[in-house]
Structure 1
Amino acid sequence: MSAILEVNHLTKRYRNGRGVEDVSFEVAEGEVFGLVGANGAGKTTLLKLLTGLLRPDCGTVRIAGHDIAEQFEQAMERVGCLIETADACGHLTAYEHLKLAARFYPSLPASRIGEALEQAGLAARAKERVAGFSLGMKQRLGLALALLAKPKLVLLDEPSNGLDVQGMIDLRQTVVRLAREEGTAFLLSSHLIHDLSLMVTRTGIMEEGRLIGMADPRRLEEQGTTLEAYAVSQIQSWKEEARYA
């Protein structure tokens, strides 16, 4: 499978010394790629760099062969994302939010709004005003917006935030089905390693802005360990090496 996302030596440093440092990886079409790490490890900063919300100090990002620094509109044309929290207008319904967003995609059929709401588990609440939504329901709305234009790459930052058990199951089933049946690539970041391990085919481990390891949860399971245990061991080893470097 060809790469839909190519990240090469991406670096962004803040004044406080945090950020991301020399990050490189690829995500293939139809792959569910995870990023795990503690809060502050650099996951959200990385996602903002991938979507052009932040400008890197150095390094490149290519989406579907387009460099986002030089061909931003072409690169982002088939990208859906939910970063940090899902912002919404309380006086609008879920359906109205998607109808407004659909105006950016003139060729999108009207039926796609209902499909996206169904995929996010919001079909039954489509006509309700968002002011009455819980955090989990707003996350579902953000997911529906991210999926609206049938993107080839979807970036989700802490997608399980606020979701109940059924919501997490629904999210997992939606991600896995779209990756398998439609070839949609997903990049999911989370500090909830166990939940993430049930969806991803490959996982990058982040610590202090660096990508310090890569793992396949299925192979780890065959070896009698878990992604959580592997990630903890990698982080501990990296900290020990950094201490004596």
Structure 2
Amino acid sequence: MQQEPVVRIQGVSKIISSRTLVSDLTLDIPPGQVFGFLGPNGAGKTTTIRMMVGLMSISKGDIFISGHSVKDEFEKAVANVGAIVENPEMYKFLSGYHNLVHFARMSPGVTKERIDEAVARVGLTARIHDRVKTYSLGMRQRLGVAQAILHRPKLLILDEPTNGLDPQGIRELRDYLRQLSREEGTTVFVSSHLLSEMELMCDTVAIIQNGKLVDVRNLRAEAEADAMAEIAFEVDDVQRAVMLVDGAVVQGQALVVRLTREQIPALNAKLVGEGIHVYGIRHVAATLEDQFLQVTGGGGIG
């Protein structure tokens, strides 16, 4: 049974004067995923997020979070949301812990134990009692995530969270978000213009360009047993192998053919039975960059 989306964006547009920033955007965000919102700078990502959290009015359409309209039931909708839009803002003269205590007072039901749990979740236990002004940018991002998840939101919204982070900080943040999704069931909606990071972090990616939704791609689809995928067989006699397999093509020293996962052993056995040595079998997966260029016609990512 398919679960109801955590977020439903229905025909949403944002128009300022005569300029359309977001145009008729319709998108469902399923529960329990890290869901990417990918597009060049200026594509409409931050505008969409600002409308989701009530920082910007919706010109047309509506957004529903956990079934509640952002337009008509704003408080009920955002009660299920934690968010960092652009940069997390903290009191730098306070410790990380006292920042969280201060924020927890605005969210009913957040206990000391939950604060400690959120701190541990983002890996800040050793530094949580230090003043925020001594934190690196990556540590401030982690503290921002801890703050955003204190009230156990169903939805965590992050706008360009890896901006300014070094490679280690990016990897740590990516690991925390995937862990949060798996272990707490939180839906993470993350915007970025970084193709490589979205590919590593996300389960599904929606691509936006010039304020319009271009495509939605499931990045984990190739793991499904019944999904067709391009499979490369590295063989010793590729010219003879291609004659034996209908629909196969040659790429270097590999025979490439579209198969389901269940069909791979049978083709391998066939090649070996014909005296062809098989040195390796691998997926030929299109990268997110390939997919992006395909659906946008080669437009720049920014």
State TM-score, norm by structure 1: 0.91
Shift of 1:219: 3.6
Q: Which residue of 1 aligns with 2:4?
A: 2
Residues 171-217 of structure 1 deviation map (CA, whole Å, 9 limit, x = unaligned): 22222222223221111100111111112111111111111111112
* Residues 82, 157 of structure 1: 8 Å contact kept: yes
Question: Could you tell me how far 1:133 is from its partner in structure 2?
Answer: 2.2
Write the distance in 2 (CA, Å) between the matches of 1:173 and 1:136.
Answer: 13
Large movers: runs of 4+ above 4 Å: 220-223
What's 2:195 paired with? Answer: 193
With 230-239 and 40-49 compared, the bigger mean Cα shift is at: 230-239
* Residue ranges of structure 1 left out of the alignment (5+ in a row): 240-245
> 1:13 and 1:163, CA in 2 relative to 1: closer, same or farther beyond 3 A?
same
Question: Would the aligned equivalents of 1:139 and 1:161 in 2 still touch at CA under 8 Å?
Answer: no
Instruction: Confirm or deny: 8 A CA contact 2:107 2:151 kept in the other structure.
Output: yes
Shift of 1:238: 7.7
Greater per-residue helix proportion:
1
In angstroms, what is the RMSD of aligned CA positions? 1.9
State how far apart, in whole Å, the 2-side matches of 1:87 and 1:189 are. Answer: 18
Per the alignment, residue 292 of structure 2 pairs with 231
Structure 2 counterpart of 1:129, one-letter code: R
Query: Displacement, 1:90?
Result: 1.5
SS, match of residue 115 in structure 2: helix
Contact 2:33/2:188 (<8 A) preserved: yes
Identify the residue that residue 243 of structure 1 maps to in structure 2.
none
Could you tell me which amino acid in structure 1 is paired with residue 74 of structure 2?
A: F
SS at match of 2:114: helix
Mapping 1:133-148, distance limit 5 Å: 133-148=135-150
What SS does the corresponding residue of 1:69 show, helix, strand or coil?
coil
Gaps of 5+ in 2: 224-228, 231-284
Instruction: After TM superposition, give the deviation of residue 127 of structure 1 in Å.
Output: 1.1
Q: Alignment length, in residue pairs? A: 239
TM-score w.r.t. structure 2 length? Answer: 0.74
In 1, are the aligned partners of 2:293 and 2:299 still within 8 Å (CA)? no
Cα distance change, pair 164–173 in 1 and its aligned pair in 2 (3 A): same
1:25-68: per-residue Cα shift (whole Å, max 9, x none)?
11111122101111111101110011111001111011111101
Asked if the contact 1:5–1:63 (Cα under 8 Å) also holds between the matched residues in 2, the reply is yes
Aligned partner (choices 2, 21, 24) of residue 22 of structure 1 = 24
Larger Rg: 2
Separation of aligned partners in 1, 2:120 and 2:16: 40
